[in-house]
Amino acid sequence: MVWQYGRRVFWFGHNEDRRTIMVHVEAVREFVVENFLFGDGVNLKDDTSFLESGIIDSTGILELITFLEETYGIQIEDEELVPENMDSLQNVARFVARKVGVSRAGEPQDS
């Protein structure tokens, strides 16, 4: 963990793979459970679709975006706001890992 521009920013070096993803999953899980599930995350699996389950609606996604941008020091572009990147804990975690420049075996670096 490092500090950048006065904000806590998660940064991992090369060759962080599944562990990195899991750390991101847990960080996002904590945020989602606290902000959208009133502390009850029992039914929230890593691949639970936020949209299909109704956990996060259109204003909720805005809160998630703000959380990710502030927590990870990243800028999320409009084109990146697609279910593939944002619609489950594991999708968000993979997306964040790519955005902060961590490579995972078999996945291309985000440019």
In the complex, the residues that contact another protein under the rule CB under 8 A are 51-52, 54, 57-59, 61-63, 65-66, 78-79, 81-83, 86
Which CB sits closer to another protein, 37 or 51? 51
Q: How far is the CB of 102 from another protein (least distance, A)?
A: 23
Which CB sits closer to another protein, 2 or 54? 54
Which CB sits closer to another protein, 53 or 103? 53
- CA trace torsion 12, 14, 19, 24 (10° rounding): 40
- CA trace torsion 51, 54, 58, 63 (10° rounding): -100
Element (H, E) at 7: strand 7-9
